Structure formats: C-alpha cells, structure tokens
C-alpha cells in the first residue's frame, strides 16, 4: 500500500459517474425524470421545471434537497420516480471488481441516490458482494452531500473512523467535508481539478486502485 493510504481501512465510493463511466449517461435519464416529476408535482411547465432542477442542484447539492426545503415534497416518492431508469446498457467491469475486492479493510458505497437504485447499478456493473455496506441519501436523513452533517450522519451510522477512510467522488464539492473530517480525498474524473480539498486524482478508478497496492 502506498504511503498516503497505508492507514486506510475504509474505502468509500460514490456511485454515479464513479462506479461506472460518465459515457453511460445514466444522469441523462435521471435528469429527464427529475424534470418530469417537478412538472407533475409543482404544476409548472418543463422550462421552469428544468430551471428549478438545475438551480436546486447548484444551491443545495441535490435537486431533492431544494424541493424538500422549498416545497416540502415527499422524498421517497421522488426517489422512486427519478431512479426508475433503464440499466441494460451498463456493462460488468471485472477489472474494477477485482481492484475493489483487493483493497484492505472495508469498502462501502455512499450516494446521493437511493439505496435500492445503488444496488441495481452495482449489480449491473458486476460489483455485487464486494461492498460491506451501501448507503443512500435516505440513510443520511435525506440530507445530501456536500453537507458536512450528511457525512457525519453516515459516519455515525457506519461506525467508521474518518481519519482511516478514503472518499472517492466525481464531484469535487463532495470532497470538502471528507477532507475536513480527516479522510483522504480522490476525485474520479478524466480532467484534474487543482483545489485544496482534492488530494488525489483518478482518471481511471480501477487503475488508480491497482496502483495503491
């Protein structure tokens, strides 16, 4: 194990665009269903619904967080609707599966999506049975990353030690709190971003994980 990660015994992975490549474009489907849900729930047209979706994501971390704060929506109904998408085009990734399985300690998933959706994606990617725990936004009381209290809720629920953990995410915003809590932070993205809260960059997650061991 490389020096920067030698004390890590909990490996935390985001889901969307982290455990599958952005080219899968699952969020195209999810965003369309988000807009559709906002149209039906708030009685606005598609243009306004799409603007609200983007504005709430930018301001609150997720569209759901904004809808809950501004419109008191039912989060479970929303999550069930927006995650009802096709996954048939996702392909198993045995290289990634092997790289995660070879990590020392525990591997968990923590996503702003729902737990049931995460399990569907994990199965489609051939990653079932590798993770010790899967946490969706419902396990953080529907508070989203990047809010620090969301991470603290998951840390308390899991019992992990943040100073012995590493966080992998494709959104740099979601690495601010983990670094402050003592975790190693890794941005999973093709293009590096030079900001203080990103310690490492993984353009290819499987290759990065293999390089650690």
Of 91 and 62, the structure prediction assigns the larger pLDDT to 91
Please check whether residues 61 and 152 belong to one and the same domain: no
What domain range is 175 assigned to?
3-20+92-212
pLDDT, tens digit, 9 for 90 and up, residues 174-194: 999 999 999 999 999 999 999
Please check whether residues 124 and 208 belong to one and the same domain: yes
Contact status, residue 115 vs residue 136, Cβ threshold 8 Å: yes
Domain boundary (42, 63, 82) is at 82
Please check whether residues 206 and 131 belong to one and the same domain: yes
62/44 Cα distance (integer angstroms): 19
Please check whether residues 36 and 103 belong to one and the same domain: no
Contact status, residue 147 vs residue 131, Cβ threshold 8 Å: no
Contact status, residue 35 vs residue 47, Cβ threshold 8 Å: no
Model pLDDT, residue 134: 98
Model pLDDT, residue 56: 93
Angle formed by the axes of helices 46-60 and 63-71, to 10°? 100
| 187 SS3 class | strand
Q: Which residues of 128-140 are buried (b: 16+ CB within 10 A; e: fewer)?
A: eebbebbbbbebb
Please check whether residues 121 and 68 belong to one and the same domain: no
Please check whether residues 56 and 34 belong to one and the same domain: yes
> Rounded mean pLDDT of 131-149?
96
Who contacts 168 (Cβ-Cβ below 8 Å, separation ≥6)? 11, 12, 13, 14, 18, 186, 188, 202, 205
List C-alpha distances in Å: 11 to 24, 44, 149, 159: 23, 41, 19, 13
Who contacts 191 (Cβ-Cβ below 8 Å, separation ≥6)? 203
Q: To the nearest whole number, what is the mean pLDDT of the chain? A: 95
pLDDT band of 200, cuts 50, 70, 90 = very high
Stretch (H or E) spanning 58: helix 46-60
> Rounded mean pLDDT of 86-110?
97
Residue 199 has pLDDT above 90, yes or no: yes
Model pLDDT, residue 1: 80
Model pLDDT, residue 62: 86
Model pLDDT, residue 152: 98
Question: Scanning the structure block, which residue is given the tokens 């051939």?
Answer: 126
14/115 Cα distance (integer angstroms): 12
Model pLDDT, residue 164: 98
Answer whether residue 172 is part of any domain: yes
Q: Which residues pair with 10 in a beta bridge?
A: 106, 165
Model pLDDT, residue 136: 98
């Amino acid at each position: 194990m490389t020096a920067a990660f030698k004390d890590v015994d909990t490996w935390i992975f985001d889901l969307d665009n982290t455990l599958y490549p952005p080219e899968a474009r699952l969020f195209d489907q999810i965003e369309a269903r988000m807009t559709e849900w906002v149209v039906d729930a708030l009685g606005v047209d598609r243009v306004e619904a799409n603007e609200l979706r983007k504005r709430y994501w930018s301001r609150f971390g997720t569209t759901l967080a904004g809808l809950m704060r501004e419109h008191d929506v039912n989060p479970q109904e929303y999550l069930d609707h927006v995650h009802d998408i096709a996954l048939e085009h996702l392909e198993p990734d045995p290289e990634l599966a092997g790289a995660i399985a070879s990590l020392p300690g525990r591997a968990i998933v923590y996503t702003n999506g729902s737990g049931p959706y995460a399990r569907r994606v994990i199965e489609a990617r051939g990653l079932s049975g590798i993770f010790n725990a899967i946490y969706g936004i419902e396990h953080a009381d529907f508070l989203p990353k990047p809010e620090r209290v969301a991470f603290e809720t998951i840390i308390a629920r899991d019992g992990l030690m943040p100073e012995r953990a590493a966080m992998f995410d494709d959104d740099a915003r979601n690495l601010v709190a983990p670094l402050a809590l003592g975790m190693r932070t890794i941005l999973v993205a093709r293009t590096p971003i030079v900001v203080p809260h990103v310690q490492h960059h993984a353009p290819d997650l499987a290759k990065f994980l293999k390089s650690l061991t």
